[in-house]
Structure 1
Amino acid sequence: MQLSDGDLVVASIELDKTSFWVASAYMAHDKDVPPDGFRTLAEEAAFKNKPLVASCDANAHNLMWGSTDTNARGESLLDFILGNKLSVLNLGSEPTFITKSREEVLDITLASDMFAHKIKRWRVLKEKSYSDHRYIEFEIDLKTPQRSQSWYREHIGDSSSLVE
């Protein structure tokens, strides 16, 4: 199945016996959000149980990812994110888009819920990108184990022993 198109680039990565998809997506301000290609990507990743990390120029505002306000595009995109078991990885409200007259968080980083715990040190860089968008940097820690319910019982205690 071909997942890349003019506004979406997808790569399959295999490192340390972990396989996942990474994507870069442009979501045009004058089209539905998310675009069909990104919808297909998220659905295919979920169907194949394939972890996904996506950096998106979403052209959408939502307080959830640090924008100064929420618009209809941002509401629609957040509904999609939550409905498709994706997590927003943005931290804080450092602008990702800057022009002479405007600063806003328009770029978001998403990950499959099952993979989000592996994303570490997400940040917007201060260095010049020679674009109106700023660089975003994060690390993928493949050594971080996913904590299971049994881990919590072993290290935290059985929740049935909590005082009601």
Structure 2
Amino acid sequence: MNEPNRKAIQNRKDFLYDTDIDTAIKVMDRNVTLKKQGKGQSYTYIETPTYIIYNCYASENKDIEDLEIMLEEIALHIRRHKEKVIIAGDFNAKSPQWGEMTMDRRGEIITEWAAQNDLVILNQGNKPTFRRGDYTAILDLTIATQDIRNKVTKWEVLDRESLSDHEYIYFEVTEESSEPIRENPRNEGWQVRKLDKAKLQQVIAEMETGQNHRSNEFSGNLRRICEQTMPKRKTSSRGKPVYWWNNEIAQLRREFLTKRRTYTRNKRRDPPSHEQQLEEYKEARQRLRKKIKAVKRTSWKKLCNDIDCDIWGDGYKIIMKRLTGFPPDNK
């Protein structure tokens, strides 16, 4: 659980909670064997003979640096132990990777972190996990390592009263591999230029229409229309580098990650050098951001100029993808 009632669980031996009591874990099944349990700032974890489960809370009231430190500590644990890991919690972040329409800074950090550590977002992106009045969002994430993703089944946001702004998320972890959870549909796409218009009219006519359909019903119908009227575009688990990436940015990124790891590891071990390492980490991040911004600008201008030479070349494809969200098909 996230943001538990501190007075209710503090000093209770049946709860594991972190240093700030932002997260807590209680194992309900006495038959579960715990090999190890641990905690950090805003996260807790338990280790069983089969897997490790992390419970995280990234408060929107804390600095971005706190989120980065928490993620780096978890990543170090994953790399060190190489165990099957599930990470769940309230991350207060937005990204199309898990169903939001926009990307914020926290979402960008988590998306990049997941890619760097070969992690998979298990959210389906078709139902909000947070509701407050008319506002809804997908803030609660379930993330897994590749070696356990096919063992996580029945993932869903439950239609049960939680007495909270956050919905219950349910999933099961099996011993045997099963059909993998389909990744967020927003990562999929269709070849729009090959739309079968006659089939489209037929499918729409067969569906019930009306003003009382809920948004999730509309989304389901829209997906079925796409599946029946257009071929899917081909996807790859490892995409090409973005058009503006170069060796200089790669080097600056390596330097930034080194500074971040040094700061994260020594934050509690060596307080006297903490401030200096924090400044070096921030400076490395600023250099990386500044270089990316400059290279993006010049690369974008070059792409636009390249269109004059080859109107159907790479420049056209990249620009159309940026403007529409769909990569144009090769003719």
Output the TM-score relative to the length of structure 2: 0.40
> Which residue is 2:58 aligned to?
27
> Which residue is 2:175 aligned to?
142
Which of 133, 140, 154 is 1:100 aligned to?
A: 133
1:82 Cα deviation (Å)? 0.5
TM-aligned CA distance change 1:47 to 1:5, over 3 Å: closer
1:72 Cα deviation (Å)? 1.6
CA contact (8 A) 1:7 1:27 kept: yes
Within-5 A mapping of 1:4-83? 4-14=39-49, 19-29=50-60, 30-32=62-64, 34-83=67-116
Q: Considering only aligned residues, what root-mean-square deviation do their CA atoms show, in Å?
A: 2.1
**Within 2, Cα distance between the matches of 1:21 and 1:41?**
11
Q: State which drifts further: 68-77 or 2-11.
A: 2-11
TM-aligned CA distance change 1:35 to 1:93, over 3 Å: same
**Within 2, Cα distance between the matches of 1:45 and 1:64?**
21
1:142 Cα deviation (Å)? 1.3
**Within 2, Cα distance between the matches of 1:70 and 1:136?**
22
CA contact (8 A) 2:125 2:138 kept: no
**Within 2, Cα distance between the matches of 1:34 and 1:121?**
29
Equivalent pairs: percent with the same residue? 25
User: Larger C-alpha radius of gyration, 1 or 2?
Assistant: 2
Amino acid at match of 2:123: N
> Which residue is 1:123 aligned to?
156
Measured against aligned partners, the alpha-carbon deviations of 1:103-122 in whole angstroms (never above 9, x if no partner) come to 00001100112211111111
CA contact (8 A) 2:95 2:108 kept: yes
CA contact (8 A) 2:99 2:125 kept: yes
1:36 Cα deviation (Å)? 1.8
Amino acid at match of 1:25: C
Secondary structure at 2:97's aligned position in 1?
helix
Structure with the larger helix share = 2
1:31 Cα deviation (Å)? 2.2
TM-aligned CA distance change 1:22 to 1:2, over 3 Å: closer
Secondary structure at 1:103's aligned position in 2?
strand
| Unaligned stretches of 5+ residues in structure 1 | 146-164
| Unaligned stretches of 5+ residues in structure 2 | 1-35, 179-331
1:13 Cα deviation (Å)? 1.3
TM-aligned CA distance change 1:71 to 1:37, over 3 Å: closer
Moved beyond 4 Å, runs of 4+: none
**Within 2, Cα distance between the matches of 1:5 and 1:46?**
17
Measured against aligned partners, the alpha-carbon deviations of 1:110-146 in whole angstroms (never above 9, x if no partner) come to 011221111111100010111110000011111127x
Secondary structure at 2:175's aligned position in 1?
coil
CA contact (8 A) 1:8 1:23 kept: yes
Structure with the larger strand share = 1
CA contact (8 A) 2:37 2:45 kept: no
**Within 2, Cα distance between the matches of 1:76 and 1:35?**
8
Secondary structure at 2:52's aligned position in 1?
strand
1:41 Cα deviation (Å)? 1.9
Measured against aligned partners, the alpha-carbon deviations of 1:32-84 in whole angstroms (never above 9, x if no partner) come to 26342332122212221111101120100001111232112111110011001
Which of 123, 139, 142 is 1:90 aligned to?
A: 123
How many residue pairs match? The answer is 142
Secondary structure at 1:87's aligned position in 2?
strand
